[in-house]
Structure 1
Amino acid sequence: MGLEDRESMRILRDALDPALGSEDVIRDFHTRWFGLDLSARDLFPPDMTKQREVFGHALLWLCDELIAQRAEEPVSFLAQLGRDHRKYGVTQEHYASLQKALLDTLRSHLALRWDRRLGEAVNDVVELVVGVMSGAADAETAPPFYDGTVLEHLRPARDVSVIRLRLDHALPYLPGQYVPVQVPQWPRRWRYLSPAIPSDPNGYIEFHVRSVPGGMVSTAIVGEARPGDRWRLSNPHGAMHVDRDDGDVLMVAGSTGLAPLRTLIMDLARFGENPRVHLFFGARYPCELYDLRTLWEIASTNPWLSVTPVSELNTDPPWAVDYPSVAPPRGLHVRQTGRLPEVVTRYGSWSDRQILICGKPAMVQATKAALVAKGAPAERIRHDPLAS
Structure 2
Amino acid sequence: MSGTEPVSPIPGIIGARPPGHHWAGEPVLPVSPFGQVRMPGVAPVGVRPEPPADGMNPADDVALHQIQRLLGDSLSLAGGPGDVAVRLRAALVQAQPALFARLPGGAGWQVEQLAQALTWLVQNLDQPPQLVAACGRLGAVLAECGVLPQQLQLAGAALAEAMRAGLGANGWRQDFDEAWRSTWDHAYEWIAHAMASGAYRPVAWTAVVVGHERRRDDLAVLRLRPYLPMPYRPGQFARIEVSELPGVWRPYSLCGDPRRDNIVELHVRAKGEAGVSGALVYRTQVGDTVRLGPAEGDMGLPGSGRDLLMIAGDTGIAPLKALLSELAATGDRRSAVLFWGARNLAELYDIEDVAAIAGACRRATVVPVISEGDADQYASGLVTDAVAEYGEWSEHEVYLAGPPSMLAATSAALRGLGVAPDRIHHDFPE
TM, length-normalised to structure 2: 0.51
For structure 2, which runs of at least 5 residues remain unmatched after alignment? Answer: 1-139, 141-195
Deviation per CA, 1:177-229: give whole Å up to 9, x if none. Answer: 11111012322110111111022675321111112359722122111111121
Give the aligned partner of residue 350 of structure 2.
291
Give the aligned partner of residue 218 of structure 2.
159
- After TM superposition, give the deviation of residue 340 of structure 1 in Å: 2.1
CA distance in structure 2 between the partners assigned to 1:310 and 1:211 by the alignment: 23
CA distance in structure 2 between the partners assigned to 1:168 and 1:202 by the alignment: 12
CA distance in structure 2 between the partners assigned to 1:273 and 1:188 by the alignment: 40
| Matched residue SS, 2:318 | helix
Q: 1:363 aligns with which of 406, 413, 422?
A: 406
What does 1:108-147 correspond to in 2, within 5 Å?
A: 140=199, 144-147=203-206
Q: Is the 8 A contact 1:163 1:207 kept in 2?
A: yes
CA distance in structure 1 between the partners assigned to 2:256 and 2:201 by the alignment: 22
- After TM superposition, give the deviation of residue 339 of structure 1 in Å: 2.5
What does 1:278-317 correspond to in 2, within 5 Å?
A: 278-315=337-374
Q: Is the 8 A contact 2:324 2:361 kept in 1?
A: no
CA distance in structure 2 between the partners assigned to 1:349 and 1:362 by the alignment: 23
- After TM superposition, give the deviation of residue 386 of structure 1 in Å: 2.0
Distance 1:214 1:381, change over 3 A: farther
CA distance in structure 1 between the partners assigned to 2:356 and 2:405 by the alignment: 30
Q: Is the 8 A contact 2:259 2:329 kept in 1?
A: no
Distance 1:201 1:231, change over 3 A: farther
Say whether residues 1:274 and 2:319 are aligned partners.
no
CA distance in structure 2 between the partners assigned to 1:195 and 1:354 by the alignment: 21
What does 1:61-140 correspond to in 2, within 5 Å?
A: 140=199
| Between structures 1 and 2, the one with greater helix share | 1
Say whether residues 1:176 and 2:235 are aligned partners.
yes
Give the aligned partner of residue 252 of structure 2.
193
Q: 1:205 aligns with which of 256, 259, 264?
A: 264
Say whether residues 1:375 and 2:418 are aligned partners.
yes
CA distance in structure 1 between the partners assigned to 2:232 and 2:211 by the alignment: 21
Q: Is the 8 A contact 1:341 1:363 kept in 2?
A: no
Structure with larger Rg: 2
- After TM superposition, give the deviation of residue 314 of structure 1 in Å: 2.6
Distance 1:142 1:199, change over 3 A: farther
Distance 1:315 1:184, change over 3 A: farther
Q: 1:347 aligns with which of 373, 387, 390?
A: 390
Q: Counterpart amino acid of 2:291? A: R
For structure 1, which runs of at least 5 residues remain unmatched after alignment? Answer: 1-85, 87-136, 317-326, 328-333
- After TM superposition, give the deviation of residue 268 of structure 1 in Å: 1.2
Q: Percent identity?
A: 34
| Matched residue SS, 1:366 | helix
Q: Counterpart amino acid of 1:386? A: P
Q: Is the 8 A contact 1:184 1:231 kept in 2?
A: yes
CA distance in structure 2 between the partners assigned to 1:213 and 1:383 by the alignment: 26
Give the aligned partner of residue 78 of structure 1.
none
Distance 1:142 1:297, change over 3 A: farther
Between the two proteins, the alignment pairs up a number of residues equal to 237
| Matched residue SS, 2:329 | coil
Q: Is the 8 A contact 1:358 1:383 kept in 2?
A: yes
Q: Counterpart amino acid of 2:416? A: A
- After TM superposition, give the deviation of residue 143 of structure 1 in Å: 6.4
CA distance in structure 2 between the partners assigned to 1:251 and 1:161 by the alignment: 23
Q: Is the 8 A contact 1:162 1:208 kept in 2?
A: yes
Deviation per CA, 1:7-46: give whole Å up to 9, x if none. Answer: xxxxxxxxxxxxxxxxxxxxxxxxxxxxxxxxxxxxxxxx
Q: Is the 8 A contact 1:184 1:229 kept in 2?
A: no
Say whether residues 1:385 and 2:420 are aligned partners.
no
Q: Is the 8 A contact 1:149 1:166 kept in 2?
A: yes
